[in-house]
Amino acid sequence: MRSHLLIGAASSGSGKTTFTLGLLRALKNRSLRVRPFKCGPDYIDTRHHRMAAGRASVNLDSFMMSEGHIKDLYARYTSDTDVAVAEGVMGLFDGYDAMRGSSAEISALLRIPVVLVVNAKSTAYSVAPLLYGFRNFRKDLNVVGAVFNFVASENHYSFLRQACEDAGVEALGYLPKRADVEIPSRHLGLSLDGDFCFEEFADRIACLVEEHVNIDRLLAITASSVKSPDTQVREVAKAIPEIDLNIAIARDQAFNFSYEENIRFLSTLGKITYFSPLKDDRLPETDFVYLPGGYPELYLTELSANSRMRESIHAFVERGGKLLAECGGMMYLCKEIIGTDGNVYPMVGVLPRSATMENMRLRLGYRTLYYKNDVLRGHEFHYSRIVPGESPLPSVATAFSAKGAQVDTPLYRYKNVLAGYTHLYWGDPSRNDWFIDFLYGEDACCS
């Protein structure tokens, strides 16, 4: 018997992440083996989870992943844990198409009990019908308890506890309204700046959770047996050549947005070496380079000044080296990035395009890319844009939103480089034929 719970909410801004981080750290402080998960495509919350729990956080996403893969992931990553904590996305039932892609869908698929985090600011007993609705809207969901956030006092909580009793949802505690448990934000999400003392912050929330939330009861009502891993995914996986690859992955303050299972899948194909475009002066010896997204716009001076690394990557590409770049990684491959200050910063120069942070506008959503005869799935989330009207480098894929509307999200191909704004998922063996073909294929599409 292990404890499994999904932390959901009625809406974004209820405090899911704050409570999740505090609970993860509290469980870690109790010397429990805790495994964090994140519903949906977010790659920033997972980094917070890792820092709070001391173990990698894994995405569960029903748009990018098959059901068999999700079941396999969950069983595999919970096999050595005492507690599995999945943080939901947006409101519990909010998906890309009604409930599809929602936290509720993941809860129903994996039969994970739900603990609701409820924003109690400016409300009291009125949460009763909200709780009753969430508990009874779908009979295939098991909403077992509620934790309240922004609670003003013990007297305030007494009204909330009575609402829980009348709605048939167990009250598990609360977090008091405190200004010192708010995480500073940045344009792509919660901040991970070096001057933000995360350890102290996580311990502070953990103390509040220990003091005001009945953790023992929470673990008791979410205990269940763990199922064996699903084997269907492995049976339909594309055959992979028995060739050990040298794989180089950019990882530093500027490039760090990646999916845990993508990296684990790469580790099965060969040896991974991490490198820093900020600090290293050349690529390691490699067959394949992965440039994930991140915050290159915050390090434009340093990236531009490191001309030896830029030249090393450029030379690797011109020799026919295989490289995949996503979002910030794609921007780094452009000839230049224009910062929010209007200044121009030279970059690698593989792609004859300019990326700009001027007049920032959010672009986000799931993406399906049709490339050659393959279907690529991922998520787009950025404020930058490619400057139009420059040297033509047409997109080699047709992109669609989750609801099937065509969008102008590009995928560029230059020699053996694939680059675009979409954060792609290739950890699912039943859906990654395109990635295997890209890594091991013989065709070098030269420009």
Cα–Cα distance for residue pair 396/21, rounded to 1 Å: 41
- Distances in Å between the Cα of 210 and the Cα atoms of 24, 179, 221, 350, 425 are 11, 18, 17, 52, 36
d(CA 166, CA 153): 21
385 - beta bridge partners? 356
**Are the beta carbons of 10 and 91 closer than 8 angstroms?**
yes
CB 126 within 8 A of CB 133: no
Half-sphere exposure of 161 (CA within 13 A, CB side): 12
- Computed on alpha carbons and rounded to an integer, the radius of gyration of the chain in Å comes to 23
Q: Is 226 buried (19+), middle (13-18) or exposed (0-12) by CB count in 10 A? A: middle
Strand-pair partners of 407: 399
Q: What residues are annotated to the active site?
A: 327
Alpha-carbon distances of 435 from 129, 269, 322, 342, 396, rounded to whole Å:
48, 12, 11, 37, 15
Check if the beta carbon of residue 68 is closer than 8 Å to that of residue 233: yes
Q: Which of 166, 125, 163, 167 lies closest to 143 in space, CA to CA?
A: 167
- List the one residue out of 312, 265, 226 whose CA is nearest residue 436: 265
Give bridge partners of residue 255 from the DSSP assignment. Answer: 294
The answer to whether 136 touches 165, Cβ cutoff 8 Å, is: no
| CA pair distance 266, 272, nearest whole angstrom | 8
Residues, the chain: 447
Name the residue with tokens 């609970």.
23
- Residue 439 Cα to chain centre, angstroms: 23
Take residue 28 and report the two structure tokens written for it: 């870690």
Strands 223-224 and 2-9: antiparallel
Report angle CA 47, 50, 56 to the nearest 5 degrees.
105
Q: Which amino acid is at 258?
A: S
